[in-house]
Amino acid sequence: MDSTQLKKVGPYTYEIPADWRPDMQAPARLLADADILEAASRDRSLEQLVNTACLPGIVRYALAMPDVHQGYGFPIGGVAATAAPDGVISPGGVGYDINCGVRLLGTHLLTEEVRPHLDELIAALYAHCPSGVGKGGAIRLQTRELRQVLEQGARWALKRGLASEADLERTEGEGCLSGAHADCVSERALERGRDQVGTLGAGNHFIEIDAVAEVFDTRAADRMGLAPDGVVVQIHCGSRGLGHQVCSDYVKRFQKAIHTHGLRLPDRELVCAPLSSPEGREYLAAMTAAANYAFANRQVLTHGIRRSFEQALAGKVSRHSVFQVYDVAHNMARIETHRIDGHPRKLCVHRKGATRAFGPGAPDLPPIYRDIGQPVLVPGSMGTCSWVLRGTEAAMEQTFGSTCHGAGRRLSRRQARKRFKGVKLRQELERSGIHVRAGSMAGLAEEAPQAYKDVDRVVEVVHGAGIARKVARLIPLAVIKG
C-alpha cells in the first residue's frame, strides 16, 4: 500500500479510513513517524492492518504500533478490540506464542561489581535456564500438576517454593489470570508442555543481563528499583510448545466455525468466532490457560536466575539478591473495561506484538505502581539498547491501553542469514563488550541487530504520541540465546 493513502490525524498518527475497502468494519490507524510509515508501506503490514479492521464487532479502529511489521493474519504490532454482542475473538490476533512476554528483574549490583564475574554468571545461567529447540527442563509434570500450572500460573510456582508474593504482585494479572480451563487444552498441548516449564526455547527468545544506561524519570525509576549503572536482567519467552499447540488447535477448529457463524474474512489466519459462542469461550479459556503456563515458565526461569546469581556471585559481592520489577505479556487477548464515548465498555483487546500500557490509577495495577502507571518493557535487538517505559492515560484514551513491544524486524530471517555470520557477529558483539552464549550460530545470525529497526526511533514515537513515557534505557552486558 502506498503511504500517501494514509491521512495524518495526529503528530504521530496516520489513518486509513473505513471506506478504503468495502469489507472494513472500522478505520485503521498506524502510530508512526514519516520513516516508519514509509518502511511499513514496503511490506504487507498495512494490508494486514486493513484486514484486521475487517473483524466483526471491532470497536473504534484497528491499530498498529510503530514497531509494526508483516506477520500472518494480524500484523506484528497489531491491536484490535472487539465487543459483544457481535464481537469476535481471533487466535491469529494473539499468535502461536501465547503470552510471549518480558520479565524485568532488578538487583542491588553495579556493573563494575558484576563485570569481573560475567563469565561465571553466564555459565551458571546457561546451566540453570535450559534453552534450545524443543528443550525440556528439570521439571517434568504429571497431568494433575500440569493442570494446576494452567489454572494457577505463577501462583503454582509460589506453592512450589519457586516464587515470592512480591514476584506475583509485580506480574500482569498477578501471574494468574482467571477464566483458565485446563479442560479446553488438548492432550497434545499438555504433552508438549509437560517438561517445558522453566525453559527458554529458541528463536528470538533470550535472557539478557543489562546495565541501566540512563534514567529519564527518576520518580518512576526509583519506584521500580532502577538506578544509573545498576544491573538488571530481562527474560523474553512465552508458553513454549503448549501455547503453539493451543493456537494451532483452535485455528484449525475455527476454520469450520467461521462457516457456522457465517463470517467472511480476507485471510484464513484471521479466523475468529463470536465471544459468546462455545468455540469462542473455549478458546479464551484455553488461551488464558496457556498464558498462565507462560507466567509460570518465566517464574521458574526467574528461580533459575536467582540460583545462578547465588552460585556465581555469593561471597564475591555484597548483595546478590534479585527482585522482580515487572512481567508483562505482548501476545495476548484480555477482557478489559475501557471508556468508549464516555461510557465503560467490556472489550476483548487483542495485542499481537503489542504491550499493555495501563496508565496511572488503573485498578489492575499493583499498589506500588498505581500512581506512576504500569511498567512497560521494550526489549531492543541483541547488541542495542532496551527500554523501560510506563503506561499513560493517553494510551487508555487512544490505544486501549497499549503500546509497542520491541524494535520490529527490518530484514527477513533468510536475508539476515545471508548477510551475517553467527560466529563473526558474536566476535563483533564481544569486541564491543557484550558477552554472547548461543545454542545456534545460524539462529544468532537471524537475530543480528541490523535485522531489526532502530528501537530508539520506535520509543521516540510512542513517547511523542504519549502512549508510553520513557523511564530508563538499558544496554546489554551479556546475552543468552537458545
Q: What is the binding site for another protein (CB under 8 A)?
A: 43, 69-73, 76, 92, 95-97, 133-134, 188, 191-192, 201-203, 241, 244-245, 247-248, 251-252, 255-256, 267-269, 271, 409, 411-415, 440, 442-443
For residue 85, say if its preceding peptide bond is cis, omega within 30 degrees of 0. Answer: yes
Helix orientation angle between 143-152 and 278-313, rounded to the nearest 10 degrees: 100
Answer yes or no: are the C-beta atoms of 386 and 474 closer than 8 Å: yes
Report CA torsion sign: 478, 242, 66, 366.
Answer: negative
Tell me which of 205, 330, 350, 405 is the catalytic residue. 405
Residue 133 DSSP class: T
Please list, in sequence order, all residues whose beta carbon lies within 8 angstroms of the beta carbon of residue 191, skipping any fewer than 6 positions away: none
Which three cell numbers, joined as nine digits, stand for 237? 519467552
Q: How far apart, in whole angstroms, are the C-alpha atoms of residue 186 and residue 11?
A: 46
- Mention every residue, 6+ apart, whose C-beta is less than 8 A from residue 370: 360, 361, 362
3-class SS of residue 446: helix
Torsion, Cα of 154, 309, 456, 402 (10° steps): 10
- The question of whether 405 is a catalytic residue gets the answer yes
Q: How far apart are CA 70 and CA 81, in angstroms?
A: 20
What is the rounded distance in angstroms from the CA atom of residue 186 to the CA atom of residue 203?
Answer: 24
Could you tell me where the beta strands, DSSP code E, fall in 190-237? Answer: 206-215, 230-237
CB 406 within 8 A of CB 380: yes
Sorted by sequence, the CB contacts under 8 Å of residue 419 that are 6+ apart come out as: 411, 448, 450
Q: Of the candidates 479, 104, 164, which has an alpha carbon nearest to the alpha carbon of residue 328?
A: 104
Distance between CA atoms of 469 and 254, rounded to whole angstroms? 38
How many of the other CB atoms lie within 10 Å of CB of 397? Answer: 14
Could you give the residue numbers annotated as active site? 405
